[in-house]
A and B are shown apart, each in its own frame.
Chain A
Amino acid sequence: MESYGANIGATLLLRFMALSYNHRPSLRRYLYGVDGPLDLTIGVRTETGSVAQKIRFRDGKARVLGASHNDTDATLVFQDNSVIRQMLTAPPSELLLLLLKGRMRMEGNLGHLSLFNYLLSVLIDKTRLRPLPVPPKNGASSQARPVPNEPTPKSVAHRPPSQRVARLTTGRVDDVRWLDEPFLARYTLADFPRLARFLAEHFDTVPELCSERPLLLTRYFRQHGFEHDSQGHPHVPVLRQAQAVAHLLAHKVPIIRDGDLLAGTTTACPVGVVLYPDAHALMIWGELGSVSGRALNPYRVTQETAELLHHEVFPFWLHRSFREWVRHRHGQPLCQQLDERFAVYFSWKTVALSHTVPDFPRLLRLGTTGLTAEIDEELARLKGDDEKRHTLTAMRLSLEGLVAYARNLAAQARREAVKVASPERSAELVDIARLCEQVPQYPARTLHEALQSIWLGWIALHMENTNAGLSLGRLDQWLQPYFDADMALLATPAERTAYVQRAIELVGCFYLRCADHLPLVPDIGNYLFGGSSSDQAITLGGVTPDGKNGVNDMTYVLLKVTELLRLRDPNVNARHNLAHNSDDYLRRLCEVNLVTAATPSMHGDESVMRSLGQHGYAASEVRDWSATGCVEPTLSGSHMGHTGSTMFNLVAPLEMALDDGRHPLMRWSVGPRTGAPERGVLPTFEDFYAAYEAQLAFLTHQAVTYNNLLGEAHAQLRPTPLLSSLLRGPLRKGRDVTRGGAEHNTSGVACIGLADVVDSLQAIRILVYEQRICDFAELKAALRDDFVGHDVLLAHIERRVAKFGSGDQAALDLANRVARRVHDGFAARANFRGGKYTTGFWSMSNHVAFGGLTGALPSGRRAGKAFTPGLTPSPRATDNLLDNLRDVASLDPTSMDNNIAFNIKFMPAASTPDDDGHARAVDQMHAYVKTYFELGGMQMQLNVVSSAMLRDAMAHPECYRDLLVRISGYNAYFVTLNPEMQIELIERAEYQ
């Protein structure tokens, strides 16, 4: 009877939908794109088979079909009838939770499902497509939400970090040549009204879906063909892409923001969301009607944009994204099905292949003219070798597009210079025109030209590559020669002092330009990667390629800008080399972290370089490493490290080992049958550990397989000739970056939940095998019951099981053992580009998402709770920070060649804003960080916020919209995070 009801409900809904679309012209027009009718067939069914329905849209007509037809484009699969009933009655946001709790899943073409969702949303609330009111900015409109535990203190009682006034000063240190006081303590934001204005705009502007890129690209391909050219010959992918990118750049609207010192914008919106329909943009299709009103991180979307995307852009790409290419070519392989359940791994390659650092020094030194001359030389020498000829030609073409964009900007600046009323601004615009006439076509000569050149290169790269983890590299090293040149021309100390202020302003404009775009985050992404920006990493400090102190004037200028602006992105990473960099520098890093609350992320330079040592890179290249995306090291300018290729759940194989290969939340016996441990088939801990390794090896194989298939999809669908022209390797090899053209090729995996796995294995070893406090049957019963009614067992876990980070040697050894196993499993595999896999232990915010899809664990962690961020020890491990630091520093860097994220929430004992308190707080941080590095630590990131303040921010988001927090590898504004992530941050261990 019950199943009958659910089936009827689903049928009625689909019938109503078909009827409405067939009989209401205002709806029916949504069934057509510019190429004709939008055909799709969507199934709805339950796992139990109690419901099986289908709706088909064909030639502008809708029909509900019985279960017999077996040709759906996509299907929504529900766990059982109750979930269907929930779906029929719940608001869309709850649907997402069904997905995230594994109670519903999607099969088939996700673009078609997005389209179906959109048609459903149009049906339900057509009015939402009218011009949309500008939603209030992040958090400002949020209702006060329930906050865990304690009552909230009054927000006025808190002193936001920005209001700290005390600053340290120092004399000339490191390789500083010009700055008399490198900490630049005398400057505050008030000295830079231009930056203050841009910063206010950054927080006030609602990001908008920008139609410029998708429209130019789609129209270009519709005219010139994608698979075949107009004569019906198959396109050479790399040439096709170069022509499209050159077209895009030449036709992009040249915009110079009012008052800016740098020309050019990534999108045509003040703050734009860049859309990559060639990657994942279709995921927003279903939300076009609702995204402006969603609770977390809403986007503005004009009716015009929504219409263009629906009718013209998205239909073209239904079968042309990386994900769908793999589904079509390889018949929705198991590795893809696993990815689309979100529970065991998540592939970023469906979105991007852009975690790399371009060779900007070469662009600055040679200009595109010089780069093109090198290409021409190579072409002139070339005999045969079509691939090389095509690749080089494509590189050349895309560079021409870059120059065309710069010329358009120069012309625009000259036009505006004539029109503008203010003589000062007019002069600035004439300067900008001269800049864009010089760079990037010709070599940069000044700091201003260098920044403009990098910025234009950056925009152009984003027209080609998804804005996810593409990173800026060692800007202090690369900009210093231009700063030197500028300073050398100045005669008096007063002129030089004035120029330092100018340099801060220019770099500040550059940072704020980088913040002009956001990645596209569908609502599910708010839960998986909440609050993340594009993660444009900048790297500071460390050593020069020839091994000297790399901390220079520009390092301190960039740090000052980081401190003044407190932006989440660019994502500032600082290397500290114990042998070469000064203590003052490390103190300054700590001070900036204290003032900004969350940035920069700090790296132990020697240990990171040790982790890279295993790959046989030249010493000079290893010394030249940059953080990429979040924290991952790649060799600057020569290395496609795609360091964020896959987010991998280390806990899933543990759950599967406990259940004979079955994943509990997916209800899927997908792994190898390693035996049900409660039947006594795993008599020793080593037997259980072997079962874990077997499940781990299975999932590793699947993750690698999917990543490699997607690698092939990138090479076919979206080669990257512009990026190829800005990396070392493709010129010599004559091969595009997507096909392994870079000098060095690796794929980096982020392995999540190390501390949770180690603590769980410890619990099993100690309680089940050694002390025999319980057996597997009792343990599994407790896990099933989420420890409710198992207080005694939970108490044993708390008391008897020494956790990772507590200083216990056995736990530490086990952590090293698991990390080594994980690393070796991935390192044994080759990626599509012919390189190796690397492993890192950081999590973005996937420790929250994966945690949500994981049951209770033997470690005592309750069902659905977040894992620890990165490889941070559990707050339950110890209350002694020193043991935490020692244990993490004692992990072997060679297992962690894709770096780590180690989070500490730190409240200085003396956090008073007076001079003494400030200096004391910096000293304390410095002592912890320096010792951690001395002990071999790779990376750490400090959140200088109290739990009390975070609770207050949860209740009063409007008072905290610029509160910066470190998640795991990236920064976010706290108020942009979903509640689960906010709670995870609050519950992190807090040290004084």
Chain B
Amino acid sequence: MAIAPLIVEIKGNSLDDGPGIRSVVFFKGCPLSCDWCHNPEGKELHVELAFDAGACVHAGACVKACEAGALDAGRVDRERCTRCMLCVEVCPSGALRTVGRQATLAEILRVAERYKPFYRTSGGGVTVSGGEPTLHMEFLGELLSALKALGVHTLLETCGQFSLESYLARVDPYVDQVYFDIKILDDEAHRRHCGSSNARTLANFRALHVRSVAGGTPVLARIALIPERTATAENLEAAARFLRDCGASRVALLDYNPLWHAKAVKLGGTPCFARSSWLTPEERARARAYFADFEVV
């Protein structure tokens, strides 16, 4: 059995991550590092310390507990912090929190078992998301195969940065639906904003799409509309061209969500990308226009 990787959380009830009522497992760790990442807690592979200044009741127990002297009233010195997490154990309010814990296969299956009646009536199931679930290909394969054995519908959300061979061998047989993120088509810009080349992503999408047309696992391309990043005229046009070229006729366009800022700040990060408002209806309509010949979901 594969070693259980870290997860950020298991969200019991989601209506936004696939059909029906779903539970979502957010894995920790991602090969990309997009500068707008909406789930910053899923970026790093290791455990992290989150601090929510607004929730702090100034009990002071953490300051006493910290052996590294990294805590002061209402502040975390990230340089000094050794992530020993002693402070979290004594924090009464939950303002200090460990991000990342090991979830065993059995635990995730218990959750699925618990909510299965809701999946059944709604046509829902379990979604694996992240972070990037395929970083843990062996565990993922075991998990999804166990879920299928329970009769649960499975959905993979991926950024597409994985070994196709490994994916096809270990995971694909147990996936009912793939949601595949397409980000920036220009490789140079992709490297700059997402931290690595997009070549493998695009090749993987093409391959999975070909297989899906031939009766393989259905794949849906998703584009998060990030102002100044993915939602530029050139990029949307290029994305539409790429998808057309692959033969795809459906695409999901996701709205930018500014709430990620707060999450990033709690982890000690300073978001470099600082748009704080939602998309306007005009921006949304403009983006959709590039996909006029697609079924936009």
Chain A residues packing against B (C-beta within 8 Å) = 791-792, 794-796, 798-799, 807, 880-883, 885-886, 909, 923-924, 926-928, 930-931, 934-935, 991-992
Task: Report whether A799 and B13 are in contact in the complex, using a CB–CB cutoff of 8 Å.
Answer: no
Q: How far is the CA of A795 from the CA of B11 in the complex (A)?
A: 23
B118 at the binding interface (Cβ < 8 Å): yes
A806 CB, nearest partner CB in chain B, Å: 11
The answer to whether B121 touches A882, judged by C-beta atoms less than 8 angstroms apart, is no
B121 & A934 in contact (Cβ 8 Å cutoff): yes
B271 CB, nearest partner CB in chain A, Å: 24
Contact B92 A882 (CB under 8 A): no
Partner pick for B118 among A791, A909, A931, CB 8 A cutoff:
A931
Q: Which single residue of chain B is at the shortest CB-CB distance from A926?
A: B121
Contact status A799-B93, CB under 8 Å: yes
Are B15 and A931 within 8 A (Cβ)?
no
List A contacts of B58 (CB < 8 A): 791
The CA-CA distance from A935 to B117 in the complex, in Å, is: 8
B59 at the interface (CB under 8 A from A): yes
Interface of chain A: mostly helix, strand, loop or mixed: helix
Q: Taking each of B11, B13, B21, B115, which has the highest tally of chain A beta carbons within 10 Å of its own beta carbon?
A: B13
Bound complex: CA of A799 vs CA of B90, how far in Å?
12
A798 CA to B94 CA in the complex, in Å?
Answer: 9
Shortest Cβ distance from B94 into chain A, in angstroms?
A: 5
B20 touches A927 (CB 8 A): yes
Contacts A924-B122, A927-B20, A927-B122 given; does A796 touch B15 at CB 8 Å: no
Interface pair B59/A931, CB less than 8 Å apart: no
B228 on the A face (CB < 8 A): no
Q: List 22 A-B contacts (CB under 8 A).
A: A791-B58, A792-B59, A792-B92, A794-B57, A795-B57, A807-B114, A880-B13, A882-B13, A882-B21, A882-B115, A882-B118, A909-B15, A926-B121, A927-B21, A927-B118, A927-B121, A930-B121, A931-B121, A931-B122, A934-B117, A935-B117, A991-B13
Closest Cβ of chain A: how far from B21's Cβ, in Å?
6
Contact B20 A909 (CB under 8 A): no
Residues of B4-52 whose CB lies within 8 A of A: 11-13, 15-16, 20-21
Contacts of A885 in B (CB 8 A): 118
Residues of A within 8 A of B121 (CB): 926-927, 930-931, 934
Give 14 new A-B contacts, CB below 8 A, not counting A792-B93, A882-B115, A923-B122.
A791-B59, A792-B92, A794-B57, A795-B57, A798-B94, A880-B11, A881-B13, A882-B21, A927-B21, A927-B118, A927-B122, A927-B124, A931-B117, A935-B117
10 tightest Cβ-Cβ pairs between the two chains A and B: A927-B122, A795-B93, A791-B57, A795-B92, A880-B12, A882-B13, A909-B15, A927-B121, A930-B121, A931-B121
**B124 cross-chain contacts in A, Cβ below 8 A:** 927
Chain B nearest Cβ from A926, distance in angstroms: 7
CA of A795 to CA of B114 in the docked complex: distance in angstroms?
29
Q: What's the minimum C-beta distance from B18 to chain A, rounded to whole angstroms?
A: 12
Question: A991 — which chain B residues lie within 8 A by C-beta?
Answer: 13
Assess the B59–A795 pair: CB atoms within 8 A.
yes
Q: What residue of chain A has the Cβ atom nearest to residue B61's Cβ? A: A792
Residues of A within 8 A of B21 (CB): 882, 924, 927-928
By a CB distance below 8 angstroms, the chain B residues around A798 are 93-94
Q: In whole angstroms, what is the CA distance A791 to B59 when docked?
A: 8
Identify the closest chain A residue to B10 (Cβ). A880
Contact of A799 among B94, B114, B118 (CB under 8 A): B94
- How far, in whole Å, are A78 and B59 apart by their CA atoms in the complex? 41
Contact A799 B15 (CB under 8 A): no
**Please, how many angstroms separate the alpha-carbon atoms of A73 and B21 in the complex?**
63
Residues of A near B20 (CB, < 8 A) are 927
> If A791-B57, A880-B12, A880-B13 touch, does A928 touch B92 (CB 8 Å cutoff)?
no
Chain A residues in 8 Å Cβ range of B92: 792, 795-796, 799
Complex Cα–Cα for A795 and B12 (A): 24
Complex: how many Å from CA A935 to CA B114? 11
* Cα distance, A923 to B15, chains bound together (Å): 11
Q: Is the CB of A928 within 8 A of B57?
A: no
Given A923-B122, A927-B118; A883-B12 close (CB under 8 Å): yes
Instruction: Give every chain A residue within 8 A of B117 (Cβ-Cβ).
Output: 931, 934-935
Question: Which chain B positions have C-beta within 8 A of A791?
Answer: 57-59, 93
Residue of B nearest to A991 (CB): B13
